[in-house]
Amino acid sequence: MQAVKNCGLCASGSFLKGRTDFLLARRNMAVLRMSAACVQLLKHKTSVLCNSSVHQRILQRLPNVARSNAVPFSVGTGLCAVPFTQQVENLSHESLIRRASCLVTDSANTYLSQTTLALVDALTQYAKALHTLISLQKRYIASIGKLSPVEEDSIWQVIIGQRVEVSDRLEECKRFESNWMNAINICELSAEAAYNSGAEHACTATKTNLQVAQSKVEEIRKISKEAEKKLAETKAEEIQRMAEYASSIDIHDLEDVPEAYLRED
């Protein structure tokens, strides 16, 4: 009897355990079905939302830029588009300083260009005036003792007028050179400011313009310096020729020598 009872208890325990496992399995299946239903419902709602006429009208009202920058993403089997605006331009202090430094370099380059053009033109006109004066004085040297007092006075009036023009041209060169040196200093400072603010391109362009301007001015300066050297040589030759001519004539004839010639420049 005891064995029968034990068998009955074992059978009862096995039955209860099996029933419990069965109930757990059913509950799990129910949970799975509910999850599947939720997923299916989500897919359906997403598809309806993306394909609805209301959504289409909303998209049509969006700006063209926003619609062209729409980012697609998928939820389940549906495809939706969420527009986003472009990134706002950086307006930090560093960016504003960099912009300002670029504007400064542009203005400095313009100022350098104008002053360089003015100085080069002034130096060119100065060199031309020097060469004209050299030519006049050489003609006079060649005609010493051959001209009448009237002719000699006439040519000396021309020489004196040309000397005045040379002096005016030289003053003009000095004035434009002062402006040009200011432009050089401003460009150097603006290039340094552009470099410190991160505008390397503006800094490089300004330094290149500086080199070009200095090269042009130095080239025309050499021409004017050579003309000044030739003028000094001509004056020395003129003094020597006049001394030779004075020694060959009577001392009383020196009164006929024009006063403008005897004056030193």
Residue pair 70/60 in contact by the 8 Å Cβ criterion? no
pLDDT per residue as tens digits for the range 55-111: 455 445 544 444 444 444 333 444 344 444 444 456 889 889 999 999 999 999 999
Enumerate domains of the chain plus CATH numbers. Answer: 94-250 (1.20.58.70)
* Cα gap 183→116, rounded to integer Å: 9
Q: What is the pLDDT of residues 172-220, one digit of tens each?
A: 999 999 999 999 999 999 999 999 999 999 999 999 999 999 999 999 9
DSSP 263: S
Contact 194, 101 (CB under 8 A): yes
Q: Is the dihedral angle over the CA atoms 16, 20, 26, 29 positive or is it negative?
A: negative
Which residues have CB under 8 Å from 232's CB, separation 6+?
A: none
Lowest mean pLDDT among 1-5, 143-147, 214-218: 1-5
- Taking Cα atoms as reference points, which of 191, 138, 130 lies closest to residue 165? 130
∠ CA(254), CA(255), CA(257), 5° rounding?
70
Fill in the amino acid letter for 43: K
CA distance 108 to 184: 9
Residues paired with 75 in a beta bridge: 78
- Residue 118 and residue 110: Cα distance in Å, rounded? 12
* 237/245: higher pLDDT: 237
Q: 60: part of which helix (H) or strand (E)?
A: helix 53-61
Per the model's pLDDT, the better-predicted residue between 204 and 253 turns out to be 204
- Specify the pLDDT at position 69: 44
Give the pLDDT band of residue 152 (cuts 50, 70, 90).
confident
Tell me the average pLDDT across 240-249. 79
